[in-house]
Amino acid sequence: MDGGGSGGRDAEGARDPRPVARLRSVALAATALAGGLVAGLWGGTAAADPLEPLVARIDPQSALSFAVVAGSLIFALTTALFYRIEQRRWTARETALRGEIAELRGANDRAEIVIGAESQIVVSWDGRDAEPRIEGDRAALGPAAAGRKLLAFGAWLAPSDAGTLEAALVRLRERGEAFQAVLKTQGGGYVDALGRALGGQAILRLREVTGDRRAVREADDRLARQGAELDSLRGLIEGLAQPVWLRDAEGRVAWANGAWLAAVEARDLADARARGLDLLDRGTREAAATARAQNQAFRARAAAIVAGARRVVDIAETPSGAGSAGIAVDVTELEEVRGDLVRQMQAHVRTLDYLPSAVAIFDARQTLVFHNAAYRRLWGLDQTFLESGPAEGEILDRLRADRKLPEQVDFRRWKADLLSAYRAIEPQESWWHLPDRRTLHVVANPNPQGGLTYLFEDVSEHILLESRYNALIRVQGETLDALEEGVAVFGSDGRLKLANRAFRALWRLEPQTEEEPHVEAVIAACAALAPGDEAWSEIRAAVAGQPDSRDGLALRLARRDGLHLDCAIQPLPDGGTLVAFVDVTASVNVERALIEKNEALEAAARLREDFVHHVSYELRSPLTTIIGFTQLLGDGTVGELNERQKDYAGHIMRSSGALLAIVNDILDLASIDTGSLALEPAPVDIRETIEAAARGLDDRIAEQEIVLEIDAPQDIGTFVADPKRVRQVLFNLLSNAIGFSSAGQTIRVRARRQAGDVVLEVVDSGRGIPEAVAAKVFDRFESHTLGTRHRGVGLGLSIVRAFVEAHGGRVSLISEPGSGTTVTCVFPADGPQRLAAE
């Protein structure tokens, strides 16, 4: 047993199969021996054995018992021996394992000491699907990476670095690829990540980068970032449309963008240096160099040649290191716009100065910066005072002292409320009732840059007109209600806006239950008394038709009760329609009688004309005889007459001539009325015709001592007309002028050509004609003495107008009492030919 135990200990607890085999053999042998003994005792057929005599004395049952006991004893001994051997072996094995555990614990403690010596975390995976094991200082990477949140890399690493680490871990766990990287956290720190595959495990070590390594890493990142920013800035500057350049310590251009090269028309910087090109002139460069030497920024606006064109640029150069950086901004268009703005502002100022409304502009300091002439006139302020830039409060105080502001119980509070508009956002309106009974509408509009713009509008006349308008509307309403005619006004929407009492009474309409009924409802109510679809359709179309197609309309309606109504429809300027109904029942009845009377009068007129025509012809013959014999008597052909007889003969001669002229005028008018007057066109010498007409009135001119002046050019020439009728026109006009002129006055006959027409004027300086009389002087048998001795039947001017219009011309009369009369006759040059063509 000692040898077995020693052998087991020498083997350091390893399993030795030899003792076990021996024990198994002994046990099997003992078992076999007991079995053979039992068989011999039981069967009796075995071979002879030296113990046979002993066995023979033992009965089979005892032998069997002995064999079982012996076998059990032998098995027990064997088992006890085997147990003892195995106990010794496992004791040695346990002692060896305890030593290994102690060594492993020491190694683990040493590893933890090594891991804990630095601020780091180690994560390991035993297999692809195994749970990770985290060791080390779990708070080493901050709260965002504490505990299980460590493996949520996107929560505490920069997005790009989180993706990189996750991809590297996948390759490490699947293919065992090692990696090492420095990652950036979201808090701005750095983490050193190392991945290795050891003993079938994937190991990840995370350690915060500190000290010099962190400083180097930050410097590298800052350098990379600044490099990227520099590249971006350089790209931005290259893309600028403004020239940008860098100068060295000697003032030479060390770098320039494409816009600068294009401005100086150079291929590149070397070409510009070789050709001595620069965007700035010498004076500007020297001024910039002076500012650079004093370490000051240089800014100026100067003219420069940019791409062959003269432009105005704003130049800015700033010292940087041993040189300077500069930029030029083209402000040519800005200068042009500024000039246009100045001109527009001046134009606006001039425009505001001509406005009838007073305008005043105050800046944010409440100082007057602009006022127009209307403002100065409104308040009667001195120009010098206003141009000195007074504050609004100062102006208000002066106006209050002059009693030009509205009377206020508490002026200080009113003034404070007024000045509060400077802090307002929306425009404020107010009404000022001045002591001189003027009313001003005042608008205070805040300016975007601060301050206020005041607009003072004198609305006194507007208020007065509005009051008068309202009064007029009321008067018109009362007037319409007082009319006997039915009047209704429809709006552009076809609804009844106004109806007087006569309209409702005429159509027996009840008081309106519906406000502003439609024209359809009104027609339906009225049509019950006056059926007639056609008439009402026309009224409906006139009221509710298209505005551009509406015209005035007049029609007559016959009602069932025998009334006859005249309806007049007139479109109004505002799109409405005026409808008026007049009861003409009596007029219709009278009209029938008048028609009959008119027919009788027309027959009487024809009879009168025939009578006048006949009598006139019958009178001419005896008058001609009387005039002839009177001339013989006056000439002394039948004997000399004394003075009284000559005087009587002269009176007979003048009376007969006047009577003959009247008869001739009556005949002419009769010819005109019957259309039988025929003109005989011929060349008419204008001046000679005037003189001939005047000669026919020499005796009257001499008798009344009238001065006759003929104002006609010698070369005025001729025109085509009926010479006899033109001479008769002038004769009648001169005769009329002589009759209304006093002794010693002047009558002027003017003739001129105007746009191809011949214009004849007879101007007298007599009493003149009142307007009421002047409107009727061309009517037949209109005779007015106007306080003179002139007598006539009132046919002269009627003849004048008839003859002139027969030539296609026109007659006009201008006269005022006490200022004389001017009668103008215009004969068209082609009048007779045109009339003949017609």
Q: Give the confidence band of 670 by pLDDT, cuts at 50, 70, 90.
A: low
pLDDT of residue 14: 41
Mean pLDDT computed over 683-688: 90
CA dihedral 498, 504, 509, 510 (to 10 degrees): 80
pLDDT of residue 157: 85
pLDDT of residue 702: 85
CA pseudo-torsion sign 477, 478, 481, 486: negative
464 HSE (CA, 13 A, CB side):
8
Lowest-confidence pick of 191-205, 442-456, 642-656, 741-755: 642-656
CA distances from 610 to 602, 623, 664, 779 (A): 12, 20, 15, 21
For residue 641, which amino acid is it?
L
Q: Are 7 and 16 in contact (CB under 8 A)?
A: yes
pLDDT of residue 822: 92
pLDDT reading at 460 higher than 90: no
Residue positions counted in the chain: 838
pLDDT of residue 837: 57
Residues 6+ apart with CB under 8 A from 66: 37, 58
CA dihedral 619, 623, 625, 631 (to 10 degrees): -170
* End-to-end C-alpha distance for the chain, whole angstroms: 173
- Residues 664 and 648: their CA atoms lie apart, in Å, by 24
Using alpha carbons, select from 704, 762, 753, 702 the residue that is nearest to residue 729.
762
Nearest 5°: the CA angle 149, 151, 152 is: 65
- Residues 428 and 419: their CA atoms lie apart, in Å, by 11
Nearest 5°: the CA angle 162, 168, 171 is: 145
Q: What is 743-769 written as a DSSP string? A: TT-EEEEEEEEETTEEEEEEEE-SS--
Q: Give the confidence band of 28 by pLDDT, cuts at 50, 70, 90.
A: low
Mean pLDDT computed over 444-453: 89
Q: Give the confidence band of 33 by pLDDT, cuts at 50, 70, 90.
A: low
For residue 658, which amino acid is it?
A
SS3 417: helix
For residue 30, which amino acid is it?
A
Lowest-confidence pick of 208-217, 380-389, 480-489, 696-705: 208-217
- Residues 674 and 247: their CA atoms lie apart, in Å, by 111
Question: Per-residue pLDDT tens for 143-177?
Answer: 767 766 777 887 788 888 888 888 888 888 888 88
Question: Per-residue pLDDT tens for 355-412?
Answer: 888 999 999 899 998 888 889 888 998 888 988 989 999 999 999 998 989 988 888 9
CA distances from 172 to 127, 197, 198, 200, 245 (A): 11, 7, 11, 11, 52
pLDDT reading at 833 higher than 80: no
Mean pLDDT computed over 337-355: 79
Question: Per-residue pLDDT tens for 181-203?
Answer: 888 888 778 888 888 887 778 88
- Residues 209 and 184: their CA atoms lie apart, in Å, by 10
pLDDT of residue 3: 40
pLDDT of residue 37: 47
pLDDT of residue 118: 61
pLDDT of residue 513: 55
Mean pLDDT computed over 798-827: 88
Mean pLDDT computed over 804-820: 87
Q: Give the confidence band of 573 by pLDDT, cuts at 50, 70, 90.
A: confident
Residues 6+ apart with CB under 8 A from 380: 402, 404
- Give phi and psi for 696, each to the nearest 5: -65, -10
- Percent of the chain surpassing pLDDT 70: 82
Q: Give the confidence band of 13 by pLDDT, cuts at 50, 70, 90.
A: very low
- Residues 823 and 812: their CA atoms lie apart, in Å, by 6
SS3 818: coil
386 HSE (CA, 13 A, CB side):
19
Q: Are 760 and 626 in contact (CB under 8 A)?
A: no
145 HSE (CA, 13 A, CB side):
30
Q: Which residues pair with 570 in a beta bridge?
A: 578
Q: How is the beta sheet containing 496-499 ordered, strand by strand?
A: 496-499, 486-490, 577-583, 564-571, 553-558
Nearest 5°: the CA angle 412, 413, 415 is: 65
pLDDT of residue 759: 92
Question: What is the number of other CB atoms lying within 10 angstroms of the CB of residue 210?
Answer: 13
Burial of 519 (0-12, 13-18, 19+ CB in 10 A): buried
Q: Give the confidence band of 45 by pLDDT, cuts at 50, 70, 90.
A: very low
Q: Give the confidence band of 825 by pLDDT, cuts at 50, 70, 90.
A: very high
Average pLDDT, the chain: 80
pLDDT of residue 38: 47
Mean pLDDT computed over 667-695: 79
Q: Are 660 and 789 in contact (CB under 8 A)?
A: no
pLDDT reading at 111 higher than 70: no
Residue scoring higher pLDDT (130 or 482): 482
Q: Are 247 and 323 in contact (CB under 8 A)?
A: yes
Q: Are 767 and 795 in contact (CB under 8 A)?
A: no
- DSSP conformational letter for 50: T
pLDDT of residue 792: 54
pTM value surpassing 0.85: no
Lowest-confidence pick of 16-30, 98-112, 146-160, 498-512: 16-30
Element (H, E) at 6: helix 2-10
- Residues 343 and 813: their CA atoms lie apart, in Å, by 55
Question: Per-residue pLDDT tens for 249-308?
Answer: 888 888 888 888 888 888 888 888 888 888 888 888 888 888 888 888 889 888 888 888
Question: Per-residue pLDDT tens for 719-752?
Answer: 888 888 888 888 888 888 888 888 888 999 999 9
SS3 327: strand
Tell me, rounded to whole angstroms, the distance of Cα 638 from its chain centroid.
104
pLDDT of residue 10: 41
pLDDT reading at 678 higher than 70: yes
pLDDT of residue 25: 58
